[in-house]
């Protein structure tokens, strides 16, 4: 059971870091061509979609115990990523494209955190069809 819990946390945080890192790589550096920047940007968008799908899957899962430790870890990690992206955005040494992507990542991570918490609470409080039929 412990292996499944760590996999749940690793999937969300791993996808979040991959999407953010890919987005930063798309704009960072002077040697990128328009083609490589476009492909990295599209890859970041696709990973963002995969992150949203995984957040939705994690939040809507059914568990007997309600809110679990992995739910707290997922929420905290998404919030920490939002703060980290905001920090990178306000640093005076960051180039304008990196600041723009940092702002987008800050908003994306914050919205993802709120969405996860809201959907998870909704999944916990909504009775399943078996519970509703048994009452």
Sequence ranges of the domains in the chain: 1-127
Sequence-ordered list of residues with C-beta below 8 angstroms from that of 5, at least 6 positions apart, any chain: 68, 69, 70
3-state class (DSSP) for residue 121: helix
Q: Which two tokens stand for residue 79?
A: 């919030």
The answer on pLDDT for 93 being more than 90 is: no
pLDDT in tens, 22-76: 999 888 877 778 898 899 999 999 999 999 999 999 999 887 778 888 999 999 9
Within 10 Å of residue 97's Cβ, how many Cβ atoms? Answer: 14
Q: What is the model's pTM?
A: 0.84
The answer on pLDDT for 7 being more than 80 is: no
At 129, is the pLDDT very low, low, confident or very high (cuts 50, 70, 90)?
low
């Amino acid at each position: 059971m412990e292996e499944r819990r760590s996999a749940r946390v690793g999937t969300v945080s791993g996808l979040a870091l991959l999407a953010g890192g890919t987005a930063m790589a798309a704009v960072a550096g002077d040697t990128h061509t328009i083609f490589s920047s476009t492909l990295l940007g599209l890859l970041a968008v696709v990973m963002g979609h995969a992150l949203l799908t995984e957040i939705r899957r994690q939040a809507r899962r059914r568990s007997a115990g309600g809110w679990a430790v992995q739910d707290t870890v997922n929420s905290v990690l998404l919030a920490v990523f939002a703060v980290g992206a905001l920090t990178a955005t306000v640093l005076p040494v960051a180039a304008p494209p990196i600041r723009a992507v940092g702002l987008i990542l800050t908003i994306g991570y914050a919205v993802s955190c709120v969405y996860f918490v809201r959907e998870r609470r909704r999944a916990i409080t909504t009775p399943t069809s078996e519970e509703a039929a048994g009452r």
